[in-house]
Structure 1
Amino acid sequence: MQMPYTLTFSRQVEIADDDQYINGCCIGGDVVLGRLLPALRSKYGNELHANQEDWGWFAWFEDGPIKLAVDISTDDDRSKFQVLLSARRPRFILSDKVEDCAELETLRELVVQRLTDWPVSNLSVQRVNEKHLPA
């Protein structure tokens, strides 16, 4: 079974204050997320939860019974970003199951289009497994 997607790309972003970030991997992720949020909210509504964690930035939301996630981090040079797109189906009593589904494909298309319109450089889209390693 195929799983989530990892998108990688380069883009210089303006950073006003490094002190607003929890860790180096968070720097600039808010700018990338800011570019995606209008399209995500337009498609999935305002019930979207977005914030910073110690590993980067995220937007989590639902499309029907499917939980979708957009997780963003950067490397040390602040211009290379990684976006993980994943879908999970809740299961009664058991933990959520990572899933390949039409909702994930729709999310991938939306995010790729939004990044292409920005534009970014060296955009790569790769399938990964549950542990985020190449499938």
Structure 2
Amino acid sequence: MPYMLTFTRSVEITDTDEYINDCCIGGDVILDRLLPALRGRYGTDLRSNQEDWGWFVWFKDGSVKLAVDVSTDDHGSAFQLLLTSRRPRFILGDEVVDCAQLESLRELIVRQLAVWPVSNLTVQRVNEKYLPV
């Protein structure tokens, strides 16, 4: 089951015009903070970019595909991170799975956010549609 992490943190935004939508504002700052730890743990083969729903970083740990998706609700101060693990299935596409790799990712992200620090951090399990379980 995926995890949803929410927190608040003021981040400095220099140019809001570089963001596709309001939900993207500041997501790059959050990822910039997390990427060194992610690269240290998972290597340099990480794919990161902005989408219309926020920012993402995707990578693999063995055969498991991991994702950290970042969006904001308050123009760069209230953030939501979705942590997801998937296993490829022949012909059927990827399947969202619970696995040790997801737990390790959650622990790494929570540690990084605590050191930064952020405020009001919550960690919640969610289903495949990112609804609370």
- The match for 1:57 is 55
1:122 aligns with 2:120: yes
- The match for 1:82 is 80
Determine helix, strand or coil for the equivalent of 1:93.
coil
1:70 aligns with 2:68: yes
- The match for 2:39 is 41
Moved more, 74-83 or 35-44: 74-83
Gaps of 5+ in 1: none
- The match for 2:11 is 13
In the alignment, which of 110, 113, 123 is matched to residue 112 of structure 1?
A: 110
Q: How many residues were matched structurally?
A: 133
Determine helix, strand or coil for the equivalent of 1:72.
strand
Measure how far apart 1:78 and its partner are: 2.4
Cα distance in 1, alignment partners of residues 55 and 116 from structure 2: 18
Cα distance in 2, alignment partners of residues 4 and 59 from structure 1: 15
Gaps of 5+ in 2: none
TM-score by length of 2: 0.99
In the alignment, which of 89, 92, 99 is matched to residue 91 of structure 1?
A: 89
TM-score by length of 1: 0.97
Aligned Cα RMSD in Å? 0.6
Measure how far apart 1:95 and its partner are: 1.3
- The match for 2:100 is 102
Which amino acid in 2 is paired with 1:101?
C
Cα distance in 1, alignment partners of residues 23 and 75 from structure 2: 10
Which amino acid in 1 is paired with 2:59?
F
Question: Which 4+ residue blocks in structure 1 deviate beyond 3 angstroms?
Answer: none
Cα distance in 1, alignment partners of residues 109 and 87 from structure 2: 20
Which amino acid in 2 is paired with 1:27?
I
Listed one character per residue, the Cα deviations across residues 48-90 of structure 1 (whole Å, up to 9, x for unaligned) are 0001000000000000000000000001342100000000000
Determine helix, strand or coil for the equivalent of 2:37.
helix
Cα distance in 2, alignment partners of residues 19 and 65 from structure 1: 38
